[in-house]
Amino acid sequence: MEADYIIVGAGSAGCAMAWRLSEAGKSVIVVEHGGSDAGPFIQMPGALSYPMNMRRYDWGYQTEPEPHLDGRRLPVPRGKVIGGSSSINGMIYVRGHARDFDHWAEEGATGWSYADVLPYFKRLENWHDGGHGGDPSWRGTDGPLHVSRGSRVNPLTRAFVEAGRQAGYGVTGDYNGYRQEGFGPFDATIWKGGRWSAANAYLKPALKRPNCTLIRAMANRVVIENGRATGLEVTRKGRKEVLHARAEVILAASSLNSPKLLMLSGIGPAAHMAEHGIDVIADRPGVGANLQDHLELYIQQAATRPVSLFRYWNLLGKGYVGVRWLLNRTGPGASNQFESCGFIRSRAGIDYPDIQFHFLPIAVRYDGKAAAEGHGWQAHVGPMRSKSRGHVRLRSADPAAAPSIFFNYMSHPDDWEEFRTAIRLTREIFAQEAFAPYRGDEIQPGAEARSDDALDAFIRSHSESAYHPCGTCRMGRADDPRSVVDPECRVIGVKGLRVADSSIFPRITNGNLNAPSIMTGEKAADHILGRTPLPPSNAEPWIHPDWQHAQR
């Protein structure tokens, strides 16, 4: 088995690269350990809580005990299926804020400023605004990835945006366009009522070409000869074999598995690899370091009227939703139900939003358990730029062993202040007149949780990952010891090897990570092909004119 390029991982970035490289006439082998994405649990947006809790589609990873969260081990779902995590995620589409990418460039990721990446976001998108506003000149309309908006028929969905306006915040027609800050409609990777994953958008069309092949196998290590990656050792159908790359091996295996594969291949912190008996090829202390995530809480409010999705939270209701979706891809099952959102700044002196709200017109958890109180609503809220950093390490030299994942959540004192502020600002929004016709008691944290100590206790026991891990193969200058890849995604110290997925992010972006991960695959493909990058944009995004002195 031989090809010009071997891509490890059929996830968000890997699928995009497979499409672009094969489009350019290169031969590509995509290696994916997971299987098919067929079946209603993945393809039906309303069923999103199922695939991320199914061993068939998820690697089943957990964190090490997190010392600042009562020693809890948190689940870390990652897609083990074609499409990767874009096949099991919440389908929320957030590019990130312009300042996120400008920060990347300032950190040494030259050529990845907002002006540089905006053309790639536009290239990948096929945006459908659904009549909810926004300036189409900021968006792409003929890319492979369909991005749409929900119907927003639920009155709670509209009340949330109005409550944000009543609280003194701005309203934005498109947080992915000119203005992120404010309240407005959510974008989703949903098309014609179905999940539009990276597999549907990129991989399946690419596999119709004779020069693109998908192999189901477990990647064991990159084969490196005389300082150059020449292939990939895999276990397929119980047997070890080596796939040969004529040009390059590209890791797109996630921010957890890409650093693991580098370390198994002898690239990473020398002392750590030596502990596991792995020969050191390149001593890169940044491999597995700089692990980041978004942590969030569900602020839940009971509803006094039967307006929430709780009416479908029974056998009959779920049956109705499922049948209606199977028949014609309509009804509640055709939406991820995240149809309104907000991005705000926690205080004056911060130049762009550092708090995100996902609004949901039901009080429910990611594992699909509804609040016993019945009808209600919730906002998922948390700080966007935590200063805490963790790491990914090898548990053993056995490629089949799960990596050791330690986020070190809430280890920075600023995280606590930011989180308490996020809770209090959410309560203020829920207290606005727009929610008055529906507002019952607060379900959680609960009205009695007012003091800093009470809120801290709630954060320790109830915060959950938003499932946005990134940063473990940091992109930066080649002479920066923290860097793992250079600004063209080439692994520093080894020829013929790149990493292109969310692990290369120097710092986590605002919001959900699927969109910037796909953009990474799109932009990396041009670097791999030796093409001149798309010309930079001169579009100027909105920043609050008085951000130094005003919080809203």
- From the annotation, which residues make up the binding site for FAD? 81
The SS3 call for residue 20 is: helix
Residue 492 CA: distances (Å) to CA of 260, 273, 299? 16, 17, 44
Reference 362, options 308, 429, 307, 437; nearest CA is 308
What span, in angstroms and rounded, lies between the C-alpha atoms of 150 and 134? 15
Give the torsion sign (CA, 367, 371, 374, 377): negative
Q: What are phi and psi of 426, to 5 degrees?
A: -65, -45
Q: Which of 468, 527, 544, 549 is catalytic?
A: 468
- Catalytic, 468? Answer yes
Using an 8 Å Cβ cutoff, are 361 and 340 in contact?
A: no
Distance of CA 261 to the CA centre of its chain: 20
Three-state DSSP class for 215? strand
Chain centre to alpha carbon of residue 2: 32
**CA distance linking residue 143 with residue 133, whole number of Å:** 20
- Please return the burial class of 231, using the count of CB atoms within 10 Å of its CB with bins 0-12, 13-18 and 19+: buried
Distance, in Å, from the CA atom of 246 to the CA atom of 231, rounded to the nearest integer, reads: 8
> What type of residue sits at position 406?
F
Please say whether the dihedral angle defined by the alpha carbons of residues 431, 436, 442 and 444, taken in this order, is positive or negative: negative
What distance separates the 2 farthest-apart alpha carbons in the chain? 70
Q: In the Cβ-directed half-sphere of 1, how many Cα atoms lie within 13 Å?
A: 21
| Contact present, 263 and 287 (Cβ < 8 Å) | yes
296 and 464 Cβ atoms separated by less than 8 Å: yes
125 phi, psi to nearest 5 deg = -90, 145
Q: Which residue is listed with tokens 């307006």?
A: 307
Q: How far apart are CA 450 and CA 424, in angstroms?
A: 9
Q: Taking the CA atoms of the chain, what radius of gyration do you get in angstroms? A: 22
Nearest to 375 by CA among 431, 297, 309: 309
Q: How far, in Å, CA of 91 to CA of 467, rounded?
A: 12
- Report whether 383 contacts 410 (CB < 8 A): no
Q: Three-class SS string for 443-482?
A: EECCCCCCCHHHHHHHHHHHCEECCCCECCCCECCCCCCC
Cα gap 176→167, rounded to integer Å = 22
CB-based contact 410:346 (threshold 8 Å): no
Beta pairing, strands 282-283 & 267-268: parallel
- Looking at the annotation, which residues are catalytic? 468
